[in-house]
A and B are shown apart, each in its own frame.
Chain A
């Protein structure tokens, strides 16, 4: 995947397949710990334990063997960038995926268009609550698709007036929280941040 936000979309799609009704996505940038961490938690069916174990190491795309290659790709992306992947799952209660990347690692993919990811998820899954929490030191931003929908009187978030409104809200929030990362199409870590680490 070219962007971390595409990995987030991929993991959230796993949650949708597990019939989740609420997906919480949190992204945290910790300059002091040199870490970019994201977490995707859902209240879906949970994964079979074997699948959870295999997911981080091997690819086993056969049906009933833990699905496709999404988690495997994410695990290798984390390791490549000096981080790790953690998965916890309880049958019938939900699954959580936590991925950590070295913030200044040159092998880390940029965060990418996170606002696009969350806007598309919220618009294309009207029955699912999407919660976004962003933290970066003193800055933070929170979004809840159920609250957004309630503010619109229960109208679909994909309608021609609601979608641009939600896109703008998310774009502003992501850009304000992650000034270096949140710009769509921006190459993630700037030259300045790279130079300080080398």
Chain B
């Protein structure tokens, strides 16, 4: 795998990624890698993400890392952002969940979003939005009294 001929082949194929990642289907996946994230297993989560993306040959996804987001109890946090759409945040992402995220939402060729595995994954950003709504209703109720 590390001979010169292999390197040439890898090089020719790798250059494909540069154009795809600037295209309209570009996706950014960000993994929280602060001290809290790392202690909660963020490195394994990121390894699983990268491994699954490579296994399924998904070219348009860029995987990045970031620091602590202030939600240490929900680490490892994974944020998925499709170009031009609001980001979706997943909490407590185990390596298995990371593979499900790739299978359910990132694999356009072989999309299995309707599989039970993907349906069970609830993004934390959805929970947060719900929590904020409930909070809002409570405040409204108090306001009337």
Contacts and interface: CB of A to CB of B under 8 A. Distances in A.
Interface of A: 1, 6, 9-10, 13, 16-17, 68-70, 73, 113, 116-117, 119-121, 123-126, 151-156, 158-165, 168-169, 172
Interface stretch (B9-17, B80-88, B107-115, B136-144): B9-17
B38 A152 contact: no
B65 A6 contact: no
B33 interface: yes
B21 to A, nearest CB: 7
B17 A120 contact: no
Interface residues of B, number: 37
6 contacts: A6-B43, A13-B34, A155-B17, A159-B13, A160-B17, A165-B7
Contact of A152 (B14, B21, B35, B36): B14
B58 A120 contact: no
A21 to B, nearest CB: 16
Interface string B25-69: 000000101111011000110110010011011110011110110
The 8 closest A-B pairs by CB, nearest first: A155-B14, A159-B17, A70-B35, A124-B65, A160-B54, A161-B13, A162-B14, A160-B57
Contacts of A158: 17, 50, 53, 62-63
Contacts of A73: 35
Interface of B: 1-2, 6-7, 10-11, 13-18, 21, 31, 33-36, 38-39, 43-44, 46-47, 50, 53-54, 56-59, 62-65, 67-68
Given A9-B33, A68-B34, 17 more contacts: A6-B39, A13-B33, A13-B67, A68-B68, A116-B47, A119-B50, A120-B46, A152-B10, A155-B11, A158-B17, A158-B62, A160-B58, A161-B54, A162-B14, A163-B54, A165-B10, A168-B1
A154 B67 CA distance: 26
A148 B58 CA distance: 21
Contacts of A155: 11, 14-18
Contacts of B57: 160
B61 to A, nearest CB: 8
